[in-house]
């Protein structure tokens, strides 16, 4: 390769990088304003005038989620033309943004169906905001995994991505229901969702850890499912089966590691009754750490 050829290639890659960065920055800014528009408030007023910490946490989760999704859209391979690169990055980015918003909507209406999330956040409920941010990040981790799994930009690709996305939302609902059942069993049939509306941040942190851990374990399934954009039923069954297996394995491993790391501590008492944020933070870290290790082993 001559000097001029090498210089031309470097210049081409630099322009591609500039295109990707520009689109990413525009989408990140758009996500910030979408947070306010979606619940019909002025985001600047909520963040800087009312000092609504809950709204800030929720917005932070949405922006972090979009950033995670965009890393899946950036493959590291330059497209043959600038227009193709711009179209591809924009398409995946916007599709990811729509899926994040859809995921949050489904999570609000199905998983956390006992209260109005937006109303709680506008009231400054930090516990609900923490769970909302974690749900967005968990959804983004899953979308990123599916984007890395899929190939090309076709209608079949988007159908495959959307199918895996729906399975992931089902897994989040199942996880939430299982955690609710365990909470009710230990607290005289009390509602975990109502506890969140009462501001139990420790409970929110622990549940957030489980959601993010489940999303990370979902990533492992992508290493076992062969990408076939036209095999709609096979893709859905494959993602569903592997996701359920990973959810069971993850739950068992987390329970084991918590018994070892937090031996001698009554976790239910500390987190659910004494609202010990420190213990909950350790539980959250353990859940994510176990999921990261499990995902690395499966890769």
Quote helix, strand, coil % in the chain, to nearest 5: 80, 0, 20
Helix or strand run (H / E) with residue 64 = helix 53-73
Q: Which residues contact residue 94 at a Cβ distance below 8 angstroms, ignoring those fewer than 6 apart? A: 27
Q: What is the DSSP string of 263-274?
A: TT--HIIIIIIS
Side-chain half-sphere CA neighbours of 266 within 13 A: 8
Task: State residue 127's pLDDT score.
Answer: 95
Angle at 148 between CA 146 and CA 154, to 5 degrees: 75
Q: C-alpha dihedral over 92, 93, 99, 105, to 10 degrees? A: -170
CB 232 within 8 A of CB 159: yes
Check residue 8 and give its pLDDT. Answer: 52
Alpha-carbon distance of 179 to 192, in angstroms, equals 8
pLDDT at 4: 43
Secondary structure (3-state) at 114: coil
What is the C-alpha separation between 39 and 119, in angstroms, rounded? 9
pLDDT tens digits in sequence order for the chain, 299 residues long:
554 445 455 776 778 888 888 888 888 888 878 877 777 788 878 888 888 899 999 999 988 998 898 887 775 555 667 777 788 788 878 888 888 888 888 888 899 988 889 899 999 999 999 999 999 999 889 888 877 777 666 777 778 778 878 888 888 899 899 999 999 999 989 999 999 999 999 999 999 999 999 999 877 777 777 777 777 778 778 888 888 888 888 999 999 999 999 998 999 899 999 999 999 999 999 999 999 998 888 76
Separation CA 285–CA 279 (nearest Å): 10
Average pLDDT, the chain: 84
What's the whole-model pTM score? 0.87
Those residues whose C-beta lies under 8 Å from the C-beta of residue 239, and which sit 6 or more positions away, are: 163, 164, 167, 168, 221, 225
**Contacts with 244 (C-beta within 8 Å, 6 or more apart), sequence order:** 171
pLDDT computed for residue 3 by the predictor: 46
Task: Identify whether the C-beta of residue 148 lies closer than 8 Å to the C-beta of residue 159.
Answer: no
DSSP character at residue 188:
T
- Could you tell me the maximum CA-CA distance found in the chain, to the nearest angstrom? 76
b/e sequence 252-288, b meaning 16+ C-beta within 10 Å: ebbeeebeeeeeebebeebbbeebbbebbebbbebbb
CA dihedral sign, ordered 44, 49, 54, 60: positive
Residue 25 buriedness (CB in 10 A; 0-12 / 13-18 / 19+):
exposed
């Amino acid at each position: 390769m001559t000097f001029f050829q090498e210089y031309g290639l470097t210049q081409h890659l630099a322009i591609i990088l500039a295109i990707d960065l520009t689109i990413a920055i525009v989408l990140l800014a758009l996500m910030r304003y979408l947070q306010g528009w979606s619940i019909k408030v002025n985001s600047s007023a909520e963040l800087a005038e009312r000092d609504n910490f809950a709204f800030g946490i929720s917005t932070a989760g949405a922006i972090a989620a979009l950033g995670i999704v965009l890393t899946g859209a950036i493959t590291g391979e330059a497209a043959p033309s600038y227009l193709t690169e711009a179209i591809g990055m924009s398409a995946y980015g916007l599709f990811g943004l729509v899926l994040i918003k859809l995921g949050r909507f489904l999570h609000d209406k199905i998983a956390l169906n006992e209260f109005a999330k937006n109303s709680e956040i506008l009231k400054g409920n930090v516990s609900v905001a923490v769970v909302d941010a974690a749900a967005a990040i968990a959804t983004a981790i899953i979308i990123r995994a599916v984007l890395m799994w899929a190939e090309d930009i076709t209608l079949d690709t988007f159908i495959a991505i959307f199918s895996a996305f729906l399975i992931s939302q089902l897994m989040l609902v199942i996880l939430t229901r299982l955690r609710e059942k365990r909470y009710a069993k230990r607290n005289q049939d009390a509602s975990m969702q109502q506890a969140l509306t009462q501001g139990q941040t420790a409970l929110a942190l622990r549940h957030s850890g489980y959601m993010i851990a489940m999303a990370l374990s979902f990533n492992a399934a992508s290493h076992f499912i062969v990408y076939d954009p036209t095999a709609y039923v096979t893709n859905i069954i494959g993602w569903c089966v592997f996701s359920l297996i990973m959810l069971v394995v993850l739950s068992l491993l987390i329970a084991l590691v918590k018994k070892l790391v937090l031996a001698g501590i009554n976790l239910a008492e500390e987190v659910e009754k004494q609202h010990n944020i420190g213990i909950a933070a350790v539980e959250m870290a353990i859940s994510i750490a176990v999921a990261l290790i499990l995902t690395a082993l499966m890769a």
